[in-house]
Amino acid sequence: MSDRNTTGESSTKSDGGTVIADNTLVARWEEIREREATVVGVTAICVAIFPWLFSRAPVISDVLLGYQSLATLILIWGIFAVGFDLLLGYTGLLSFGHAAFWGGAAYAAGIVANTVSADPIVMVVAGTAFAVLLAWVLGFLSLRRGGIYFSILTLAFAQMLYYMSAAPLAFLTGGENGLTGISVTPLFGVFHLESDLPSVAGTLIGNWMYLFVGVIAVLSVAAAYRILNSPYGMVFRAIRENEQRAEFVGLNVWRYKLMAFIISGAFAGIAGSLFTIHGSYVPLQSLYWTESGEIVIMTVLGGTASLFGPILGAGLYLYVENIVSGVQQLTIPFTDIVLINDFGTYWHLLLGLVFLVVIWVAPRGIWGAVSDLRALVRRLAGGDRR
Amino acid sequence: MSIVSELAVILLNGLQQGAIYVLLAVGLSIILGTLKFVNFAHGALYLVGTYAGLFIALDVTLSSGKLQEWGYGEFGLGWGFLAALILVPLFVFAVGLLMERFLARSFYDRPDTDQILVTFGLAIVVQELFRVLFGSNSLPFTQPEYILSVIPVSGPMQLPIVGSFPRWRLWVIAITAVLVGIVYLLVEHTDFGLVVRAGTRDAEMVRLLGIKISRPYLVVFGIGAALAGVAGVVGGPLNVVNPTVGMNILVPAFLTVVIGGVGTITGAVVGGLIIGLTQATLIGLPSVTIASFTLNFSPWSQVGLYAIAAIILLVRPQGIFGNEEVAP
């Protein structure tokens, strides 16, 4: 086995004999790549080593300038993005109102924490339940019209929630100041979320907060994978490809669309509740349409209709927003040539331009480029496979 | 003040508030109806109109932004408001033509979601460009005093039943009525309008008859843009002027279109009035005290707008004047 491995690694620059060995390796990987256990396992490993790579690894983290709390935030938005892509990428519905579920769940979790119980699990369950109910109602209203009207209506209803929590419901939500005074109790009454994990786990994963979010993130990816590869998820794709045909086959398209919307809202709800736990604070901003816009940008930049593209997009967006934007002078690496002065002012403008270009020429996003590259490598490596 | 005059004030305020939405919605609606193009950057055109109007009409001193850092902190032509009212629509018309030619046209054959995404991206770019150049602070857009130094347009005005009412608001209503009237006549009663409407029904047939449909499309986009520019100029002195106004006004404008029904100018007008009146009514109503519980309506003004929209769409999903043919 180890023999095959070494030949496989050197195969790209050696003769045809080893290419065949490589082929079997590639073939084996292709065979297990799509399995649920592989997807979930790889996700779990990536989630587990990510904070170490990002904020504590010797050289990499010095270059990346990452920190633990941002790693947690990236995972939270990643869950949100996976759910959003379920709707946009797989069902073909562009919602501009997902801030309603994100922010609504964040408020619900916060209010439950302040009044009933501040147990993290209770908060997540309450927030998600609220998001699901909300998605049911808003989906029922918005899905009365298809296409662009759906986008406009979701945007409108989310804005309605924003204005409701801004003034009329200020006694519940804290109005302009946001919801404050949330103090999350330890997980299972024992583990303080802010405290570090013991020994090796502490170095690798960091604190209990990340572990909590990470476990939920892996479960979310597993759930999304299971949904997408079930017959039920196939119907979502059928609706995206040709709604009329799906209707003619006898499927109740409206019901499937509503369900896709609710599932997507549930993911947003999980993420929103985790956001409250992570920050111990809910800003009014979390219901504003800019949050909906952000999740749209993340998902599209990362690549729609893929499971990991949106997570990548979320990570990249937050990384640029929180770290790169703090760099005042952007230079070409390892030289002194200054690309942009005062980068912090321009980053949002540049992001907008990048987004515009991606939509225009490469609607499949970063993940699309990655899969093209993979296809290219496979063709080069196994061109004479028969 | 009597009940009647209070109601009249609410009515006029509603008309004025609705007028801005109508200007935006008519443009959005004819572009959506004829070109089948969703323009999330329509608010950006409003933004361009507001800043261009400010630049032409007044002298402005910037307190932040890159222009100020680069030493162009004081800008503006100071040609007066009438000049702005004439030049800005022309300028935004040109912007609209460029946008149709270089952005929208390549997206006519792509899915709706791509259209929304690309115009959303453009809206962000425009907004951020203005933020970088002019800073994110609100700029003062003072109301004009006189037009042609003879006709007074600011200050209060005595009206028969209403009593005193801000003169500028009446002007906004009048300007809107005239412009929308012109566009209505153009679309419904000219040969140009005939081609546009025929293109809405069946673009391919129009092309087979030897009419170059792409040119009327270009003009329709330009007209829609110009109306948004006018909305920016007349609405500028009534609202704050900062880079986010475009995106903030986009949502009610779209709601107006959806309520009224896509592709009809009448629908856009009625939708705008409904939204404007709802808002003005909720702001204008006095608070009601039932037992020890005081109900104040004005915080609900923004919410009421969406609630009305939700109710209308539940009853008539295609909008008040919409017909199912146009709506997908």
CATH classification of the domain holding A67: 1.10.3470
Within a domain: residue B319? no
State the pLDDT confidence band at A16, using cuts at 50, 70 and 90.
very low
Q: Quick one: closest CA in B to A358, which residue?
A: B118
Within a domain: residue B299? no
Q: Cβ contact (<8 Å) for B116 and A94?
A: yes
Residue A360: the pLDDT is 85
Within a domain: residue B206? yes
Beta pairing, strands B151-152 & B146-147: antiparallel
Do A250 and A124 fall into the same domain?
yes
Residue A340: the pLDDT is 66
A268 pLDDT exceeds 90? yes
A330 pLDDT exceeds 70? no
Do A237 and A288 fall into the same domain?
yes
Alpha-carbon span A148 to A138, nearest angstrom = 16
Do A193 and A336 fall into the same domain?
no
State the Rg of chain A over Cα: 22
As for how many domains chain B has, the answer is: 1
Q: Is A135:A266 a contact under the CB 8 Å cutoff?
A: yes
State the pLDDT confidence band at A383, using cuts at 50, 70 and 90.
low
Q: Cβ contact (<8 Å) for A160 and B303?
A: yes
Mean pLDDT check: name the lowest of A21-30, A47-56, B308-317: A21-30
Within a domain: residue A304? no
Of B258, B307, B314, the CB nearest to A152: B258
Do A262 and A340 fall into the same domain?
no
For residue range A142-157, list pLDDT tens digits in order.
888 777 888 888 988 8
Of A157, A289, A363, the CB nearest to B114: A363
Q: Is B282:B301 a contact under the CB 8 Å cutoff?
A: yes
Do A290 and A364 fall into the same domain?
no
Do A157 and A99 fall into the same domain?
yes
The neighbour count for residue B152, using CB atoms within 10 Å, is: 14
Lookup: tokens for B69: 């850092």
Q: Cβ contact (<8 Å) for A159 and B113?
A: no
A14 pLDDT exceeds 70? no
Residue A13: the pLDDT is 44
Within a domain: residue B192? yes
Residue B183: its H or E element: helix B167-189
Within a domain: residue A54? yes
Alpha-carbon span A207 to A204, nearest angstrom = 9
Mean pLDDT check: name the lowest of A99-108, A295-304, B116-125, B194-203: B194-203
Range of the domain at B38: 3-243
Q: Cβ contact (<8 Å) for A146 and B310?
A: no
Of B121, B257, B307, the CB nearest to A356: B121
**Chain A hits for B66, Cβ within 8 Å:** 345
**Chain A hits for B114, Cβ within 8 Å:** 359, 363
Do A25 and A53 fall into the same domain?
no
Alpha-carbon span B78 to B61, nearest angstrom = 12
A55 pLDDT exceeds 50? yes
**Chain A hits for B306, Cβ within 8 Å:** 156-157, 159-160, 163
Select the residue from B99, B120, B293, B295 to test the A interface by mutation, using most A Cβ atoms within 10 A: B120
Do A273 and A225 fall into the same domain?
yes
Closest by alpha carbon to A264, among A385, A172, A138, A370?
Answer: A138
Within a domain: residue A313? no
* Domain boundary residue, one of A265, A299, A333: A299
Do A75 and A8 fall into the same domain?
no
Of A149, A170, A355, the CB nearest to B124: A355
Closest by alpha carbon to A338, among A330, A327, A347, A328?
Answer: A330
Within a domain: residue A376? yes
Within a domain: residue A93? yes
Closest by alpha carbon to B254, among A90, A52, A148, A134?
Answer: A148
Residue B77's SS3 state is coil
Within a domain: residue A312? no
Kindly report the average pLDDT of chain A as a whole number.
82
Of A141, A345, A360, the CB nearest to B132: A345
Name B234's bridge partners.
none
Going residue by residue through chain B, which has 328 residues, state the pLDDT in tens, using 9 for 90 and above: 577 877 888 888 888 888 999 999 999 988 888 888 888 999 999 999 999 988 888 877 777 777 777 777 677 777 778 888 889 999 999 999 999 988 888 888 888 888 888 999 999 999 999 988 888 888 877 777 666 666 676 667 777 766 677 788 888 888 899 999 999 999 888 988 888 888 877 888 888 988 888 888 899 999 999 999 999 988 888 888 888 888 888 888 988 998 888 888 889 999 999 999 888 888 877 777 776 666 777 778 888 888 888 888 778 878 888 775 544 4
Closest by alpha carbon to B211, among B201, B221, B226?
Answer: B201
Write out the DSSP string of B101-162: IIIIGGGTTS-HHHHHHHHHHHHHHHHHHHHHHH-SSPBP-PPPSEETTTEE-SSEEEETTT
Shortest alpha-carbon distance between residue B184 and chain A (Å) = 24
Closest by alpha carbon to B222, among B31, B19, B79, B24?
Answer: B31
Do A100 and A193 fall into the same domain?
yes
Rounded to two decimals, the ipTM of the complex is 0.83
As for how many domains chain A has, the answer is: 3
How distant is the alpha carbon of residue B258 from its chain centre?
Answer: 14
Closest by alpha carbon to B183, among B47, B35, B24?
Answer: B24
Q: Is A72:A54 a contact under the CB 8 Å cutoff?
A: no
Of A159, A349, A356, the CB nearest to B118: A356
Within a domain: residue B310? no
Select the residue from B113, B258, B278, B316 to test the A interface by mutation, using most A Cβ atoms within 10 A: B113
Between A19 and A137, residue with greater pLDDT: A137
Alpha-carbon span B117 to B110, nearest angstrom = 11
Select the residue from B105, B303, B324 to test the A interface by mutation, using most A Cβ atoms within 10 A: B303
Alpha-carbon span B20 to B13, nearest angstrom = 11
Residue A17: the pLDDT is 46
Closest by alpha carbon to B60, among B153, B50, B245?
Answer: B50
Residue A129: the pLDDT is 95
B301-315 vs B265-284: helix crossing angle, rounded to 10 = 140
Do A26 and A53 fall into the same domain?
no
The neighbour count for residue B61, using CB atoms within 10 Å, is: 11
At B151, give phi and psi (nearest 5°).
Answer: -85, 120
A231-241 vs A208-228: helix crossing angle, rounded to 10 = 70
At B71, give phi and psi (nearest 5°).
Answer: 95, 15
Write out the DSSP string of B145-160: SEETTTEE-SSEEEET
Range of the domain at A379: 323-386
Average pLDDT on A94-116 reads: 91
The residue whose two tokens read 């003005």 is B280
Select the residue from B125, B258, B316 to test the A interface by mutation, using most A Cβ atoms within 10 A: B125
| HEC letters along A23-86 | HHHHHHHHHHHCCHHHHHHHHHHHHHHHHHHHHHCCCHHHHHCCCHHHHHHHHHHHHHHHHHHH
Where does residue A172 fall: left (phi above 0), alpha (psi -120 to 50 degrees), or beta otherwise?
A: alpha
